[in-house]
């Protein structure tokens, strides 16, 4: 046991006090929480801590090992950057949600058992939804509802898998699981949904671009990366993930090229980057897992930087589409510079962070003689440079002049972007500290002549392709449109389901209302008042007698109530008999 | 919707379509040669 406080508790309990504090103290308090959590993490030795016995189970809230520590570090670092970026937001809902969400991610990272894992998993799903809802537009409301529905479905699969797993193994502790039965498949689907593995991915590009400017920073960092962490822990070496990951890297490129919304382009590139990580987990060698973990670390930073820079543009101009933007480098030079650093990092330019992490995964595929996969990853590398590396900065800050004249975002936003940019360059120039905290010993040198020249060739030819496509007029026009993705199926299926349920259940409801609530009580009421008359008139109707004859019969018949015993009398007699029987048999009188 | 463009098309710059075809042809030829060399 340790005297230190769990990082997840620092965030979750700390979040509750945010609405109670005002002014500068609140800002200092919000910045203090991730710093405190980070210091706690640094002090933690490896082992299992914060074990709480509930019923017959021992819940482990602190499984500290090299794998969980890397994700713990980066989640607290990005929380600090995200909070700094959102420091002047006056909406407490966003602050509390962001801290609860980040606390959930830390809880997932350090959970050593399935029960606490599931609790934190759902905390993440719920509070991340508020970061989408908080934008308070019609589009964000719709996206948030779809987001939570999809995640609740994933959560249910996950829960079903966990229950089956506990039933099969008799333990709630987990480590490597592997795909070997229904329980593992359900757990796999639950994690895969959060990792945005196709065809379960559309929630990501649907929801993230609709989130608040500051919320998107947290969203881009936490949900998919906590799923990457869990995949790396539970399904490392699963061959299926190699091919899923390779597909994930390639498919979003085509959507990203067509997309007009800049934040949606980044959402597609996020899926592309998680694809690299899935591929690394599938390969499962030490080099591949190191590559996956380091790439997750770097990706969180440069993706957050990209979301912050385009978020700043949205914050200052109110616009986020390629068709509306352009020429902003004149009035937002620093934001443009930070965006370029993020773009260079995601494209894996030498001296930018992606170069020292992504290449480990690509090299691992090469070492394992996965030639087709290697080729797809190279294609995807060129593709991500094309859309996230060139398209995003080009159409936002350069390209045609939109005529928008604005100014740089507030200082706290610039500072947050500056810190992220510093990490992006610092990790690339000096990758040693990052390599030192990876799960396995690193024997990898990123800066070899062949690697630098090869990567530069790839990127320069990618830039040439983009330039020629633009100049020759073959580049697809940017237009305001909705690109159909696999969400088409569940959106259509959901409409069909709604239609069927509307017709079937509402039909059943009105039928029940008419017959059970209206006709039946009227009939039973009539029967109870005049039972003989009612039965005779029923049989007369059945026998085909006309209404005149029936009315004559009713008139001639005297009211039956005068000859009937009140209902209470037989009930009283029955109760008395039952009580006597009780005395005789139960008490053996 | 007012003030927001519906489409941003990229008009070709004269002469660059030819350059595009030449570069495409060169790239395909180069990759084809590498592919064929792997069988020799």
Unique residue bearing structure tokens 């090869």:
A454
The CA-CA-CA angle for residues A3, A122, A145, to 5°, reads: 145
DSSP A559: P
- Chain-chain contact of A474 with B6 (C-beta, under 8 angstroms): no
Is pLDDT above 80 for A2?
Answer: no
Q: Which of A1-10, A115-124, A252-261, A361-370 has the lowest mean pLDDT?
A: A1-10
Please give the residue that has the higher pLDDT: either A581 or A14: A14
CA pair distance A314, A308, nearest whole angstrom: 10
Residue B7 lies in a domain: no
- Chain-chain contact of A324 with B4 (C-beta, under 8 angstroms): yes
pLDDT values of chain B reduced to their tens digit, one per residue, 40 residues = 446 677 888 889 999 999 999 999 999 999 899 889 887 7
CA A205 to chain CA centroid, Å, is: 11
Q: What is the pLDDT of residues A72-112, one digit of tens each?
A: 999 999 999 999 999 999 999 999 999 999 999 999 999 99
Give the residue from A473, A476, A477 with the most B CB atoms within 10 Å of its CB, the best one to mutate.
A473
Nearest-Cα distance to chain B for A406, in Å, is 16
Q: What is the pLDDT of residues A56-71, one digit of tens each?
A: 888 999 999 999 999 9
List residues of B whose CB lies inside 8 A of any A CB: 4-13, 16-17, 19-20, 23, 27
Q: Which of A76, A83, A11, A78 is nearest to A43 (CA)?
A: A76
- Chain-chain contact of B6 with A323 (C-beta, under 8 angstroms): yes
* pLDDT range class, residue A243, cuts 50, 70, 90: very high
* pLDDT range class, residue A122, cuts 50, 70, 90: very high
Residue B4 lies in a domain: no
A477 touching B (Cβ < 8 Å): yes
Q: Which of A353, A360, A359 is nearest to A425 (CA)?
A: A353
The DSSP-derived string for A97-134 is: HHHHHHHHHHHHHH--BHHHHHHHHHHHHHHHHHHHHT
Q: Which residues of B touch A471 (CB under 8 A)?
A: 12-13, 16, 19-20
The CA-CA-CA angle for residues A63, A121, A8, to 5°, reads: 50
A179 touches A185 (CB < 8 A): yes
Per the DSSP assignment, residues forming a β-bridge with A275 are none
Strand extents, DSSP E, A204-337? none
Is pLDDT above 70 for A559?
Answer: no
Strand extents, DSSP E, A477-583? 478-479
The pLDDT of residue A390 is 93
Which member of A319, A471, A480 has the closest CB to residue B6? A480
Q: Which residues of A touch B8 (CB under 8 A)?
A: 322-323, 395, 400, 477-479
Cis ω before A199 (30° cut-off from 0): yes
Q: What is the pLDDT of residues A478-509, one digit of tens each?
A: 888 777 787 777 777 878 888 888 888 888 98
Interface ipTM: 0.88
- Chain-chain contact of B8 with A475 (C-beta, under 8 angstroms): no
Is pLDDT above 70 for A174?
Answer: yes
Is pLDDT above 90 for A253?
Answer: yes
Which member of B4, B13, B27 has the closest CB to residue A471? B13
Please give the residue that has the higher pLDDT: either A256 or A570: A256
Is pLDDT above 60 for A563?
Answer: no
In sequence order, what are the residues at sequence separation of 6 or more whose Cβ sits closer than 8 angstroms to the Cβ of residue A346? A269, A273, A299, A302, A303, A306, A354, A384, A385, A388, A389
Q: What is the pLDDT of residues A14-33, one digit of tens each?
A: 999 999 999 999 999 999 99
The length of chain B is: 40
- Chain-chain contact of A474 with B20 (C-beta, under 8 angstroms): yes
Instruction: Kindly tell me the number of DSSP H helices and DSSP E strands found in chain A.
Output: 24, 3
Give the residue from B2, B3, B5 with the most A CB atoms within 10 Å of its CB, the best one to mutate.
B5
Q: Residue A426: how many CB atoms within 10 A of its CB? A: 14
* pLDDT range class, residue A558, cuts 50, 70, 90: low
B28: containing domain: 13-40
Q: Which residues of B touch A475 (CB under 8 A)?
A: 10
User: In the Cβ-directed half-sphere of A404, how many Cα atoms lie within 13 Å?
Assistant: 28
Both tokens of A532, joined, read 């003989």
Handedness of CA A328, A329, A335, A337 (dihedral sign): positive
Is pLDDT above 90 for A199?
Answer: no
| Mean pLDDT (whole number) for A512-538 | 81
The pLDDT of residue A479 is 82
Q: Which residues of B touch A477 (CB under 8 A)?
A: 7-10
Q: Which residues of B touch A395 (CB under 8 A)?
A: 8
Which member of B4, B7, B23 has the closest CB to residue A477? B7
CA pair distance A26, A24, nearest whole angstrom: 5
> How many distinct structural domains can be found in chain B?
1
CA pair distance A425, A431, nearest whole angstrom: 10
The pLDDT of residue B4 is 65
A278 touches A350 (CB < 8 A): no
The pLDDT of residue A151 is 95
Please give the residue that has the higher pLDDT: either A120 or A535: A120
Q: Residue A180: how many CB atoms within 10 A of its CB? A: 8
CA pair distance A395, B7, nearest whole angstrom: 13
Both tokens of A74, joined, read 């980066």
Task: Write down the mean pLDDT value for chain A.
Answer: 91
The pLDDT of residue A566 is 65
A287 touches A444 (CB < 8 A): yes
DSSP A261: B
* pLDDT range class, residue A530, cuts 50, 70, 90: confident
CA pair distance A584, A111, nearest whole angstrom: 60
């Amino acid at each position: 046991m340790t005297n230190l406080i769990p990082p997840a508790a620092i965030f979750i309990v700390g979040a509750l006090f945010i609405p109670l504090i005002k002014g500068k103290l609140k800002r200092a308090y919000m910045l203090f929480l991730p710093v405190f959590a980070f210091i706690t993490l640094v002090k933690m030795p490896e082992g299992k801590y914060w074990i709480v016995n509930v019923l017959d189970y021992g819940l482990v809230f602190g499984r500290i090992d090299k794998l969980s520590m890397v994700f713990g570090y980066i989640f607290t670092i990005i929380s600090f950057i995200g909070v700094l970026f959102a420091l002047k937001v006056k909406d407490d809902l966003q602050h509390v949600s962001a801290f609860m969400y980040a606390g959930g991610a830390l809880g997932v990272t350090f959970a050593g058992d399935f029960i606490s894992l599931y609790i934190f998993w759902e905390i993440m799903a719920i509070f991340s939804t508020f970061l989408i809802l908080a934008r308070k537009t019609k589009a964000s409301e719709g996206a948030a509802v779809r987001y939570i529905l999809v995640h609740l479905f994933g959560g249910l699969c996950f829960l079903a898998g966990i229950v089956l797993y506990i039933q099969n193994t008799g333990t709630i502790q987990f480590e490597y699981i592997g795909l070997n039965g229904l329980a593992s498949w359900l757990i796999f689907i639950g994690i895969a949904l959060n990792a945005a593995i196709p065809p379960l991915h559309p929630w990501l590009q649907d929801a993230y671009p609709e989130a608040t400017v500051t919320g998107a920073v947290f969203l881009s960092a936490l949900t998919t990366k906590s799923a990457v962490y869990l995949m790396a822990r539970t399904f490392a070496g699963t061959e299926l993930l190699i091919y899923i990951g390779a597909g994930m890297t390639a498919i979003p490129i085509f959507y990203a090229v067509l997309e007009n919304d800049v934040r949606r382009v980044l959402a597609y590139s996020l899926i592309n980057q998680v694809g690299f990580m899935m591929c690394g987990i599938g390969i499962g060698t030490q080099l591949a897992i190191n590559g996956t973990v380091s790439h997750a670390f770097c990706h969180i930073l440069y993706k957050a930087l990209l979301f912050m820079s385009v978020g700043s543009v949205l914050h200052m101009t109110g616009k986020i589409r390629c068709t509306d933007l352009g020429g902003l480098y004149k009035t937002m030079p620093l934001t443009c510079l930070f965006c370029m650093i993020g773009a260079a990092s995601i494209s894996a330019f030498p001296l930018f962070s992606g170069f020292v992490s992504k290449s480990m995964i690509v090299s691992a595929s090469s070492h394992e003689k996965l030639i087709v996969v290697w080729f797809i990853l190279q294609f995807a590398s060129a593709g991500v440079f094309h859309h996230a590396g060139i398209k995003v900065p080009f159409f936002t800050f350069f390209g045609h002049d939109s005529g928008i004249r604005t100014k740089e975002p507030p200082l706290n936003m610039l500072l947050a972007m500056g810190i992220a940019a510093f990490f992006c360059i610092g990790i690339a120039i000096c990758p040693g500290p990052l390599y030192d905290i990876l799960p396995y010993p690193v024997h990898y040198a990123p800066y070899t002549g062949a690697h630098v020249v090869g990567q530069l060739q790839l990127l320069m030819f990618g830039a040439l392709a983009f330039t020629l496509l633009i100049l020759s007029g073959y580049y697809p026009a940017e237009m305001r449109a909705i690109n159909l993705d696999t969400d088409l199926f569940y959106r259509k299926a959901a409409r069909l389901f709604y239609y069927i349920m509307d017709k079937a259940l509402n039909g059943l409801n009105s039928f029940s209302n008419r017959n059970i609530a209206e006709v039946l009580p009227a009939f039973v009421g009539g029967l109870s008042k005049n039972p003989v008359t009612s039965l005779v008139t029923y049989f007369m109707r059945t026998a085909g007698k006309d209404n005149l004859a029936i009315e004559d019969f009713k008139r001639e018949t005297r009211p039956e109530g005068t000859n009937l015993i009140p209902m209470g009398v037989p009930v009283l007699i029955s109760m008395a008999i039952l009580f006597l029987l009780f005395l005789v048999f139960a008490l053996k009188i | 919707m007012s003030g927001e463009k519906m489409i941003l098309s990229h008009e070709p710059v004269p002469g660059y379509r030819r350059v595009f075809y030449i570069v495409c042809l060169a790239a395909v030829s180069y990759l084809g040669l590498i592919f064929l060399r792997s069988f020799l």
